[in-house]
Homo-oligomer: A and B are copies of this chain.
Amino acid sequence: MPGTKWSFIVPQFQLECGVTLLSPTVCYQSWGTLNHARNNVMVICHPFTGSVDVEKWWGPLMGAGKAFDPMHYFIICANVLGSPFGTASPLSIDSSTGRRYGPDFPPTTIRDDVRLHKLVLDHLGITSVAVVVGGSMGGMTALEWPLCFPGLVQRIIPLATCAKQSAWCIAWGEAKRQIIYTDSAFRGGHYPRERPPKQGLAAARMVGLVTYRSCDSYEQRFGRKLDDPSPHVPHPHQKADDSTVCSTEKTQITVDPAEHPRFSAQSYLHYKGATFATDFDANCYIHLTHKMDTHDITRGRMSAAVDIDEHTALSAVLRTLPPHPLIISISSDVLCPPHEQKILADGIPEAELVVIDSMAGHDGFLVEGERIDAAVVKYLRREFPEFYR
């Protein structure tokens, strides 16, 4: 069920940091049609490394009879600032210099994304959004939509996400950035297009890949299985000082000397890391980790004059969110553990919390697509019976 991809150019856009972007592009995709009341709107917010191609990462939820059903909704997914997939980012040309922004692309926040994407809705004449749904970073965005535009959004469905980026996730982001900085090809972000820091980006992605799952899921999938020669992974006949080359456009992954056993879990990381380093951009990766670090729904929302503690501030903000959200947890999520969604469910009025019992870890919000689809369909049909008549 193909959507339609659009590029929308905003004349200018002031970021929270104070910098004004001139003519930033917003890349978005839409599916289905607006109803007469122009209110059957579903906004999908993509995660960290996702794009507007929702079918690619949330396929089991997309299509006729599924949660994201273009027969019933006008569905829209817009790419966030700093992502390499179409919206203004470090890969864009800075009109003031005529060169790519690279590491000089100004810092952006989840709130910047919401305000920018709102301009697309304005352009489409949309003044009411039925539901905003998103997992992980997309869940942060889903929480920010109704906070940035009170009254606009009827319902939200945040998955595997949090009210504020935790210290642990801040630490993960920092470790990943330091890995990329270690690659001498990074050159402070001023790398030429043809020589990006692929090895550092691949290694950072490997760390991400481990955190996105769980000990149990790796055990079940890989255990202590040794690698067998496969088309996508080079076999180790080299010394550690001879880099071998993965098939994915020559992202270099160093393979250990043959005297070490080669486990399947290692080959999985090599393959996934190398593929990612070819498809993504290091400056964008760093940018997005910083963006998530800024996420805190209480930030700047409580009067500085009132001396209240963090917990009270969080409760006060959560109370203002649209009632009756569907909040989804993955039981084995170590990155945004279930207790973080419990905080959301305890604070947002009349929240429904569904914990998916799964060993898939944080990625469970993607991997457990069919179970999540079932929960979301049930919720949507109950909340919006008018769209299903």
Interface residues of A (CB under 8 A from B): 17, 103, 106-107, 164-172, 174-175, 177-179, 181-184, 187-190, 199-200, 202-203, 206-207, 209-210, 213-216, 218-219, 221-224, 239-243, 253-254, 256, 259-261, 263-266, 268-270, 273, 290, 293-294, 296, 310, 334-335, 337, 339
Contacts and interface: CB of A to CB of B under 8 A. Distances in A.
B182 A241 contact: no
Contact of A167 (B177, B223, B296): B223
Contact of A175 (B210, B254, B339): B210
Most buried by B among A168, A222, A241, A243: A168
A166 B240 contact: no
Given A107-B259, A107-B260, 12 more contacts: A164-B224, A166-B215, A167-B222, A174-B265, A175-B210, A181-B240, A181-B243, A187-B241, A190-B241, A215-B335, A261-B293, A334-B334
B210 A182 contact: no
A interface, by DSSP: helix, strand, loop or mixed? helix
A103 B242 CA distance: 12
Copies in the complex: 2
Contact of A293 (B174, B190, B260, B334): B260
The interface centre, meaning the residue of A178, A207, A253 with most chain B CB atoms within 10 A of its CB, is A178
Nearest to A201: B182
Given A106-B259, A224-B296, A178 B166 contact: no
Given A206-B175, A334-B215, A167 B221 contact: yes
B218 A178 contact: no
A290 B182 contact: no
A189 B259 contact: no
A171 B269 contact: yes
B203 A171 contact: no
A130 to B, nearest CB: 32
Contacts of A242: 188
Of the listed residues A199, A207, A273, the one surrounded by the most CB atoms of chain B closer than 10 A to its CB is: A207
A325 B241 CA distance: 43
Question: A190, A256, A270: which has the most chain B beta carbons within 10 Å?
Answer: A256
